[in-house]
């Protein structure tokens, strides 16, 4: 047998590495459900997947220890069906529910039902979600905490006349937004008093249709703003830390396409200010678990609170890569009542990470492209992470979100991260459906992206450029 190779004895797990829960139910699907399952597997936590009939063959169902079908394909009857989700937790004996993002993740009523049924919700309290979920109320809370707000209406605007008065005070351009909004729906930008009445009414009816609530508010519309958000983590013992910022300015119709950390435009002083402000905002509401505070940063370095997301974000991996902190595992520990496993001074942003959201959409027209994946290859190599629930022969159902994968590249600096993202996109193969990968590949070559000079409006001008020069897939 020859000389035995000497190995180090495996490190003994620290005492607080005991699994925070025995069994966790994941009330979600797709890549985020899988992400939570992976974290649970690492921690020795048993997992329960719930699924709709459309997801019978999904990977989150396959990789969980147990699975429960909770309803037909429409999410209202399955993933959003609170009694079904709770019953699934009860019959399987799950102690806690991780909601992922979307679906029930920011539903305070669901949190209360969990509590009433003796199930731990992996996230903040219902009270915090309520406080931060309603945008008008969140702004009032932030104002009281001394967090800079965008100049805007003091709460809901009831009439066109009121809208005209407030817009005059703020100064055009202004933006009308749905109180219960998100995802760009119920939003209108107005440049002058002539177009305001129609746009105001449109925003209200769109909000009514999308959220069942037609209350809207108004704020100043910044020119060339950048979307900068700060990852927050807090425990139930009053400790709140930040994990640095993410830049999410590459977005189309308020849907993020590319996120990165750190931002190319923050200098250390500005970073410190914006992150400290986020911690202050989180402390003001007694925040615990993972959350994100979104700011708009203008050309002059002023930043304004936009909203808080009281859940794990789609783009959390870029923060995980630059800080080395596993946000999802930390969420579980916090929910179990443990203290944060790190202090603020332990958080160091090292290197650079970029995430591209690969959606099942036409890359240049953005029309949805559901269907069956006939061939699939994910890139690998140094510094590449792929968060996905796709597999060969997977069928992308038309009922849910169009995101099929998150491609995340890490490098020692931004240039290396971009270079790795390029070659990752070049070696990504998804056949059978159209995806936005070719669009990302073009963005990675664009001088503005390489220089880091872009605002939340950048995609609009880029799309115009594409129309003039509609070369397809650069491969």
Site string for other proteins, 69-98 (x = CB under 8 A): xxxx-----x----xx-xxx-xxxx-----
Burial (CB count within 10 angstroms: exposed 0-12, middle 13-18, buried 19+), residue 2 = exposed
CB of residue 74 to other proteins, shortest distance in Å: 12
| Cβ proximity to other proteins, 400 vs 462, nearer residue | 400
H or E, element range at 464: helix 458-468
Output the CA–CA distances (angstroms, integers) from residue 85 to 25, 63, 214, 401, in the order listed.
Answer: 9, 18, 29, 19
Radius of gyration of the chain (CA): 22
CB of residue 61 to other proteins, shortest distance in Å: 8
Contact between 177 and 157 under an 8 Å Cβ cutoff? The reply is no
Strands 66-71 and 371-372: unpaired
ω into residue 359 within 30 of 0, thus cis? no
Decide: is 65 part of the binding site for other proteins (CB under 8 A): yes
Could you say which residues in the range 281-340 bind other proteins, by CB under 8 A? none
Decide: is 280 part of the binding site for other proteins (CB under 8 A): no
Quote the CA–CA distance of 170 and 72 in Å, as a whole number: 48
CB of residue 55 to other proteins, shortest distance in Å: 11
The number of angstroms, rounded, from the C-alpha of 176 to the middle of its chain's C-alpha atoms is: 23
Among 13, 22, 56, 238, binds other proteins (CB under 8 A): 56
| Alpha-carbon dihedral sign for residues 17, 18, 21, 25 | positive
Asked about 311 being catalytic, the answer comes back as yes
| Cβ proximity to other proteins, 68 vs 199, nearer residue | 68
| Cβ proximity to other proteins, 64 vs 203, nearer residue | 64
Decide: is 213 part of the binding site for other proteins (CB under 8 A): no
Among 67, 95, 229, 235, binds other proteins (CB under 8 A): 67
CB of residue 113 to other proteins, shortest distance in Å: 8
Quote the CA–CA distance of 305 and 231 in Å, as a whole number: 14
CB of residue 404 to other proteins, shortest distance in Å: 22
Contact between 133 and 182 under an 8 Å Cβ cutoff? The reply is no
Decide: is 435 part of the binding site for other proteins (CB under 8 A): no
Q: Which of 130, 204, 311, 414 is catalytic?
A: 311
Decide: is 107 part of the binding site for other proteins (CB under 8 A): no
Binding site for other proteins (CB under 8 A): 48, 53, 56, 61-62, 65-72, 78, 83-84, 86-88, 90-93, 117
Catalytic positions: 311
């Amino acid at each position: 047998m020859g000389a035995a190779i000497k190995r180090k004895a495996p490190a003994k797990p620290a005492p607080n590495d005991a699994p925070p829960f025995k069994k966790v139910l994941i009330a979600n699907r797709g890549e985020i459900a899988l992400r939570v399952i992976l974290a649970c597997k690492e921690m020795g936590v048993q997992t329960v997947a719930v699924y709709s009939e459309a997801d019978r063959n999904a990977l989150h169902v396959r990789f969980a220890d147990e699975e429960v079908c909770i309803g037909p394909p429409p999410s209202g009857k399955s993933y959003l069906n609170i009694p079904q989700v709770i019953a699934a937790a009860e019959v399987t004996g799950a102690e806690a529910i991780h909601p992922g993002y979307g679906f029930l993740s920011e539903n305070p009523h669901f949190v209360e039902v969990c509590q009433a049924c003796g199930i731990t919700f992996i996230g903040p309290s219902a009270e915090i979600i309520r406080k931060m979920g309603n945008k008008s109320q969140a702004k009032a809370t932030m104002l009281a905490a001394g967090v800079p707000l965008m100049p805007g209406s003091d709460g809901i605007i009831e009439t066109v006349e009121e809208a005209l008065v407030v817009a005059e005070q703020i100064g055009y351009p202004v933006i009308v937004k749905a109180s219960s909004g998100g995802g760009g729906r119920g939003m209108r930008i107005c440049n002058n008093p002539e177009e305001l009445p129609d746009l105001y009414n449109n925003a209200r009816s769109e909000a009514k249709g999308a959220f069942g609530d037609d209350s809207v508010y108004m704020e100043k519309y910044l020119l060339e703003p950048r979307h900068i958000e700060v990852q927050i983590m807090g425990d139930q013992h009053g400790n709140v830390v930040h994990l640095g910022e993410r830049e999410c300015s590459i977005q189309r119709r308020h849907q993020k396409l590319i996120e990165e950390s750190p931002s190319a435009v923050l200098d250390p002083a500005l970073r410190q200010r914006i992150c400290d402000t986020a911690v202050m905002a989180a402390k003001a509401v007694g925040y615990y678990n993972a959350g994100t505070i979104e700011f708009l940063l203008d050309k002059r370095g002023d930043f304004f609170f936009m909203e808080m997301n009281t859940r794990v974000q789609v783009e959390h991996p870029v923060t995980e890569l630059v800080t080395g902190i596993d946000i999802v595992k930390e969420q579980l520990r916090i929910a179990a009542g443990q203290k944060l496993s790190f202090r603020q001074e332990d958080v160091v942003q090292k290197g650079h990470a970029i995430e591209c959201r690969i959606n099942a959409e036409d890359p240049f027209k953005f029309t949805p492209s559901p269907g069956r994946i006939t061939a699939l290859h994910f890139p690998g190599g140094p510094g590449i992470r792929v968060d996905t629930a796709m597999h060969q022969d997977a069928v992308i159902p038309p009922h849910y979100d169009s995101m099929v994968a998150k491609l995340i590249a890490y490098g020692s600096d931004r240039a290396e991260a971009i270079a790795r993202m390029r070659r990752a996109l070049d070696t990504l193969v998804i056949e059978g459906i159209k995806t936005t990968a070719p669009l990302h590949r073009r963005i990675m070559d664009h001088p503005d992206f390489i220089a880091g000079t872009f605002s939340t409006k950048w995609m609009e001008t880029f799309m115009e450029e594409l129309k003039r020069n509609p070369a397809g897939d650069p491969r």
